[in-house]
Structure formats: structure tokens, C-alpha cells
Amino acid sequence: KMNFGVDWETEHRRILLDGNAALERSAQSVARSQAVAAESEQIGTEVISELGEQRDRLLRAKRRLSQTDEELNKTRKILNVMRLKVLTNKIVLILIILLELVILGIIYTFHFFINLSLHTSENKSLKMVIPHDDEYYQNRIPEPDLGALQNFLRFVWNPERKQLLGRSGKEWALLGLFYLCFFTVLGSLFALQMWISIEYASKLERPFFLYSGLSPRSYFGVTFPLFRHVDFGSPGIAFKPNILLPTKSPIIWIDNSSANARPKRYVQALSDFLQEYNKSKENYKTVAECSDGVSIVSSMKPCFFDIESLGVCGQPPYGYTDPLQPCVLIKFNKRFNWVPRPYNKSSLLPENMPHTLQEAVHVSNKFQIWLWCDGVNNVDKEHVGEIEYLPSPGFPVQYFPFVGQPDYLAPVVALPFRLVTVECSLWALNINKDAQNALDFQIILGEL
């Protein structure tokens, strides 16, 4: 009877509303779980991407260490050959000294026996007379002691015996003649050795260590194998300004509060580097001879690199003042007689070449060693944005090859940057894959 007063419709509505609210809370909880899962998936993807990039960097570091180990092995072989030659020279020198000692011993022994035979044959009753004049005995009379100062002054100049520093004029003349002859012979031997070395080196068409293999040389009828082979691999690049800092990695650190990182140091370093590019154009090829599309010709007259083509990065303060956008100059290292084989429109590009660079190669008419720089990780890539290459993203082939021209100017590419860790790579047909990632550095603005 007590249940007759219950409003079942209201009760059912309340229960349905409670169930609906529970379902909404469950839906919200599921949505939050999905958001957390999506965020976790994104973080996991980024972590995997970061791990992949770190793995690539470790593999590149391993390849560089392998190349360094190979170079050290080659250097060790060269040092072993040099050590063997030094040891051989020492042995020969010791044998020569021993031979000279034996000859001197024989001479003195022979002289002793001759004198002994002469003395025994003479009449022992004869008195040996040693003829000397009065001057001989006069010079052997002890000098009187005049005191420390007077003895020294007499040693400097003795008016009685007419001696300077204990020697007469005749003795000084004989001594000077001896040393004149001695140093003349010594200088003649040195000049002869230098003439032979320069005469040999001047006939080489390239640096000595670029000749390959074991090259036999004959000296005095004896043939000696000379080890000369050094494989330098692919060429490389360097960045300026590169100031030594108390850090292990290559960093451009700009901070007015630190004496090691003040912008003036970097501005001065860039000015010193670009000073060698301030030369007259008379000793260089004309603009027409160095234009794009001209074939590579080895010549002792190189192309002129105009630093005005670097824009704001070619004149002080090079972006190292407010607002800070510091310029970094990428310089191609000199490699003797190396001729690049650039990619062009019809080239089959490698798969690992960045997609943006592939598009640039396909639409470009320039013949150059392509340069590509980008951030090392995703954060750096977001900060670096689109990189501006001045005057172009590469090194024109007209500046190659370097054959020892005295006025040669290496090509330069300028890059204005902000806060990033940058990695640069070179792209050409005859640059090894292991040597493409040729440079990496970091730019830090503010405290390190």
C-alpha cells in the first residue's frame, strides 16, 4: 500500500537522466583517453624520428671514424718508412764514424812505428836539439799579476805583445781563414743539398704525396722504393668565423656578457678572412670566361670571386648587430687538380637527396657543386625555416680545378642564420656518399 503513492514516471526519468549523464561522462573519459593516446602516439613518433636521426648521426660518425682510422693507418705506414730511413741513415753514419776511427788508428800506429824505428837507428849519444828563437822563450815568460781588473784589460788588449783577446794579428788572421774555409765548405754542402731538392721538386707536376704507388728511385746505382700513396678522398668545406671556444663542438656563440663570445670577435674574424679577397681583377679571368655554362679548363689564371655577391654577408658587421641574424660563410677547401662532376637537369639524382634540392637541380641551368644546409633535428628545422644562400646554393665549377695558382680565391657561400644546429652537405657525382655530410655547427644567441 505504501508504493501506491510513488510517481514511477518521474522515477524512470531520473534513472534515465542519471544513466545519460553517466554515458556522457564515459564518452568524455573516452575522448580524453583518445586525446592522450593520440598525444602519446605523436610523442612516440617524434621520439622514433629523433632516435632515427640520432642513429643516422651515429652511423655517420662511425663512418668518419673509420675514414680517420684508415688515414691514421696510412700515416702510420709513412712514419714507419720514414723511421726506417732515419734508422738506416744512423747506421750508415755510425759505420762511417767507425771507419774513420779505424783509419785514424792505422795512421797513428804506422806513424808511431816509423818514429820508433828512426829513434832506435840514431846514435843515442847524440843530444837532441830543439831549435827555438828568442821570441819563443819570450812569449812563455809568465805575466805579472796586476789585479783582476788590470788582468782583464790586459787580456782584452796587450800593448806589449800587441795581442787582442790573447791572440796576435797573425793568429787572428789564421783563425779567420780557417773558419772561412770551414763555413764555405759547410755552406756549399747545404746549398748543394737545397739545389738538388728544389731541382727535383720543381719538376713535379703536382704535390709530392699525390703520386700513387711505390715509386722506385735509383741513387748511386742502388734502387730505393719510396712510399708516396695518400688517398685524400672527397673534398670538404669549412665555415667562418671559426673561433676556438672552451667547448668541444663547433659553436658560434654570441653573448655580449662573455669576453669569448662578443660579436666584435666574429666581425673581426670575418673581416680578416675576407681581406684576401680584396685583390685586383687584372690577374684573373674575365667575366665572360667565368660565366655559367663555360666548360672547365685547367689554367694558371683563376676566376675572380667578388665578395659583393655575398650581399650583407660580404661587408661589416655581417649581421652580428641588433637585430641579430649572423652570417656564416661556407668555404670550399682547396683540393689539388680535383675536377667536379656536377648534377644537371638530366642527371639521375640519388634517393637520399632532399626533395627541395632535387627540384632546384631540375629547374636550374647552373653547373655547380650543390650545397644543402638544414637543421639537425625537427626543432632546428622548424627554427631555421627557409635558408637564404648568397649568391647561390652551391660552388660554381668555373673555380675548379685548383692547380696551385698563387692568386686562387676559393668560392664562398654565405648563410644568414638564427638559433639553430645546422648540418651542411655537398652534392656532386664524384663526391662519395660518406663524405656528403661535410660540416655541422651550432649557433647560440645569449648564454651558453
Tens digit of each residue's pLDDT (9 = 90 or more) over 409-437? 999 999 887 656 788 888 888 887 766 66
Cell output for 392? 647561390
- Of the spans 2-11, 181-190, 207-216, which averages the highest pLDDT? 181-190
The answer, yes or no, to whether residue 56 has pLDDT greater than 90, is no
Of residues 83 and 255, the one with the higher pLDDT is 83
139: confidence class by pLDDT, cuts 50, 70, 90: low
The answer, yes or no, to whether residue 371 has pLDDT greater than 80, is yes
Report strand pairing: 412-416 vs 327-332.
Answer: antiparallel
pLDDT at 191: 87
Of residues 202 and 331, the one with the higher pLDDT is 331
pLDDT (average), residues 173-193: 87
pLDDT at 167: 81
pLDDT at 227: 45
Span 200-253, pLDDT tens digits: 666 655 555 555 444 555 545 555 455 444 555 678 888 888 876 555 557 777
- Of the spans 19-33, 152-166, 302-316, which averages the highest pLDDT? 302-316
pLDDT at 382: 75
Q: Do 327 and 270 form a contact (C-beta atoms < 8 A)?
A: yes
Amino acid at 422: V
What percentage of the chain has pLDDT greater than the value 90? 8
Write b or e for each residue in 237-256: b if 16 or more Cβ atoms lie within 10 A of its Cβ, otherwise e.
Answer: bebbbbeebeeeebbbbbee
Q: How far is the C-alpha of 96 from the C-alpha of 343, rounded, in Å?
A: 61
pLDDT at 206: 56
What percentage of the chain has pLDDT greater than the value 70? 77
Averaged pLDDT of the chain: 78
The answer, yes or no, to whether residue 30 has pLDDT greater than 90, is no
pLDDT at 61: 79
108: confidence class by pLDDT, cuts 50, 70, 90: confident
Q: How far is the C-alpha of 306 from the C-alpha of 278, rounded, in Å?
A: 8
pLDDT at 330: 92
The answer, yes or no, to whether residue 329 has pLDDT greater than 90, is yes
pLDDT (average), residues 21-47: 85
pLDDT (average), residues 5-33: 80
